Amino acid sequence: MSGVFVNVNRGKRSIVLDLRTDEDKATLRSLIESADLFIHSMRGKAIAKLGFDYDAVAAINPSIVYTNCYGYSRRGPSADRAAYDDTIQAECGIPMVQEMLTGTASFAGTIMADKIAGMTALYATMMALFHRERTGEGQEVEVAMFETMAAFMLVEHANGAMFNPPLGPAVYPRAVSPNRRPHKTKDGHIAALIYNDKQWAAFVGAVKPAWAMDGRYDALEARAAEINTVYGLLGETFGERTTAEWLDLFRELGIPASPLQTPGELFDDPHLNAIGFFETIDTHTGPVRFPGVPTWFSRTPAKVAGPTPRLGEGTEDILAELAASLPKTAEA
């Protein structure tokens, strides 16, 4: 099993059903009878062809929450198009804003659309479950990757284009400024954001860069108007000290700053380890150190529920439990 599969399927049970067969369709219908929710990631026509669209499932269990996860809403002309993370990133504008930022059209270095759509499906499903808790009503929920990522990108990039008439283009200038990047220091790189006026005054007072001493950039509005120039000047200044020297100074001044880390270095991050972020679970292949639950609850602490099952590992047990739950046929 791949690392990604192991990570996203931890703590689950796995049953394999062939929904082309009447027997396994009947099994799924029996599972639906007592289910809180039904969630799938097939296109609308495909799930309907199998006989498990919302109407069919709700006929079995009217209070169920039924969540569709697919590329495009079935209410629009792109309903039947296939979609993957890369194509959705492209369609919602990520490569183009990356080109504004770096000079090269590129994808984000993570499966951003897949993960954000998944998180959206989670909170949308929880909202529907909360509604059912209050009213007893089940319902159908639709979570489309394209719509999800369009909303995600337009949080800041809608900008002036939201207004009628438009006040400006659909872009957030600070986010795509070419000089917005980690900057070189004497011995490496640093990411720092000197954002508000209090932080700016503290930085200028401590570092005294010649280009900032005339006060032209003291106000946030003035910095925002020339943000790419300001980032470039900061980058030149950061090259005058080591990464550690800048980090020490910025922590003293209360300015957000970080060194550059690789994903692998997160496993040794002192903060993450101090809060017990990682959890080691015994699995079929030996101990696995999982990234833990990122949220904290005072009364209901969360944890990794267990290892990742092999594909279909729970089929026999789940079918036995299902059989035991069914009404017994009276003997003649």
Beta strands per DSSP E along 71-199: 139-144, 183-184, 189-192
Q: What is the pTM of this model?
A: 0.91
For residue 121, give the nearest of 143, 149, 151, 153 by alpha carbon.
143
Domains detected in the chain:
35-176 (3.40.50.10540), 183-259 (3.30.1540)
Distance from C-alpha of 71 to C-alpha of 145, rounded to nearest angstrom: 5
pLDDT for position 70? 94
pLDDT for position 327? 74
Distance from C-alpha of 262 to C-alpha of 282, rounded to nearest angstrom: 26
pLDDT for position 285? 87
Amino acid making up residue 93: G
3-class SS of residue 283: strand
Distance from C-alpha of 1 to C-alpha of 215, rounded to nearest angstrom: 58
Burial of 128 (0-12, 13-18, 19+ CB in 10 A): buried
* Distances in whole angstroms, Cα of residue 162 to Cα of each of 82, 175, 177, 196: 29, 18, 21, 26
Is residue 223 within 8 A of residue 212, CB to CB? The reply is no
pLDDT for position 328? 66
- Residues contacting residue 58 through CB under 8 Å, at least 6 positions apart: 64, 66, 138, 140
In order along its 332 residues, the chain shows pLDDT tens digits of 799 999 999 999 999 999 999 999 999 999 999 999 999 999 989 999 999 999 999 999 999 999 999 999 999 999 999 999 999 999 999 999 999 999 999 999 999 999 999 999 999 999 999 999 999 999 999 999 999 999 999 999 999 999 999 999 999 999 999 999 999 999 999 999 999 999 999 999 999 999 999 999 999 999 999 999 999 999 999 999 999 999 999 999 999 999 999 999 999 999 999 999 999 999 988 999 999 999 999 999 999 999 999 999 999 999 999 999 877 654 44
Distance from C-alpha of 61 to C-alpha of 32, rounded to nearest angstrom: 7
Phi, psi of 258 (to 5 degrees): -145, 150
Amino acid making up residue 109: G
Phi, psi of 110 (to 5 degrees): -155, 160
* Distances in whole angstroms, Cα of residue 96 to Cα of each of 82, 157, 263, 266: 21, 12, 25, 29
pLDDT for position 326? 78
